[in-house]
Amino acid sequence: MAVFILVLVVVFVLCICSALLRWNEVRYRKKGLPPGTMGWPVFGETTEFLKQGPNFMKNQRARYGSFFKSHILGCPTIVSMDPELNRYILMNEAKGLVPGYPQSMLDILGKCNIAAVHGSTHKYMRGALLALISPTIIRDQLLPKIDDFMRSHLNNWDNHIINIQEKTKEMALLSSLKQIAGIESCSISQPFMAEFFKLVLGTLSLPINLPGTNYRRGFQARKNIVSMLTQLIDERRASRETHEDMLGCLMRSDENRYKLTDEEIIDQIITILYSGYETVSTTSMMAVKYLHDHPRALQELRKEHLAIRERKRPQDPIDCNDLKSMRFTRAVIFETSRLATIVNGVLRKTTEDMELNGFVIPKGWRIYVYTREINYDPFLYPEPLTFNPWRWMVGGSSIHTLIGKDKSLECQNNLLIFGGGTRQCPGKELGIAEISTFLHYFITRYRWEEIGGDKLMKFPRVEAPNGLHIRVSYY
């Protein structure tokens, strides 16, 4: 009898599951939509998307083509894996498309963050951000701070086993914090860092506000960070001192053409920290990994940086001319970003029913511009799974036949590792300066070997779940 009841329960549950799946498919079966599947109500196919990542995308493309519907991260979504269509979407934001980032990201990063706003507001906020990281500001104010921080951060690594993932995460956040808050960053760095790591995890989660969820922890972390930054702003106003850092610039409304409210200032700071943190830390970690695995590339990079050091005294910092001379370093950074695919794509949202690729996309749907696969296109990148920084050098391998002798891959239309259109990463050059300075001091001071056995995940974030451990010694 008990077995019979158990069988009935199992059959009943299966019927309910089947009915829910069927109901969700019918719910989104509108005329003109591209083919695809929608998964479960509310959750959609988020679990498969996050767990299977690129394999999920490839399987769906094999079944439905390079333009299909799904339901991920709480939203009905159209996935585009077509390079030409992706470029069109990125270059035509004003024509019925606005940023479409998940609700969890919008809630946690703030409604004034540059990724959330569009139109004239986006132009204004982007202008305010670019004023903080212009080439002149990088040269005169930010690069000296970056240099000073990297020298200190990379001290005393000799004869230690280092979790390079942990160290590059700390490096990316604390270096940015120093640029933002100057000397005061030291007093808030540890509590800020603990909250910031929770915030990052919460941005890529389902917006379910229940105890124990990454979303709840991330949202609470935002509140704590806002409180810390508000206190810092209030203390500065009370002291009336002048500060030559990003926060000081944002607060000097009388000298700044971009006049922001405190809420906008705080969201701008969180945006700077968040956008730079993931790309700088992960690219730095993966560059260390790839250079270890490719001694010829490491030898070439070290040669470039030792030449820089030879024309300097030991205490002399890296300057703008040094950065310009780091041609192979830049190639290593681009190749690392391409091969590791730090950014898999971007999201847009339709503001009206619109036609794309012969289909009608309903108002309010997300479009996931999936750019990962273009990084492995063998026509653009021969032997795409090989780490080859020389492909980014003018006159490097395979460059002449692909794009002509006067251009490098960095100039090509299909390069989307830093975004595209009006949303191209405004902090691209600052991030490259940080990674270049880190690599300079790391490879001129140390040699390293991997301990081994550390697993790497490539989706939805590039990370080593148990860390990436290396044994470091003086060079």
In the annotated binding site for heme, the residues are 425
Q: Among 408, 424, 167, which residue's Cα sits nearest to residue 288?
A: 167
User: Which DSSP string do the residues of 122-147 spell out, in sequence order?
Assistant: HHHHHHHHHHHS-HHHIIIIIHHHHH
What is the rounded CA–CA span in Å between residue 173 and residue 450? 24
Q: Among 93, 57, 90, 86, which residue's Cα sits nearest to residue 72?
A: 57
What is the rounded CA–CA span in Å between residue 73 and residue 207? 8
- Reduce the DSSP state of residue 106 to 3 states and report it: helix
Contact 345, 364 (CB under 8 A): no
Contact 158, 446 (CB under 8 A): yes
- Reduce the DSSP state of residue 471 to 3 states and report it: strand
Cis peptide before 191 (omega within 30 of 0): no
Q: For residue 36, count other CB atoms closer than 10 A to its CB.
A: 22
Annotated binding site: 425
Contact 365, 76 (CB under 8 A): yes
Radius of gyration of the chain (CA): 24
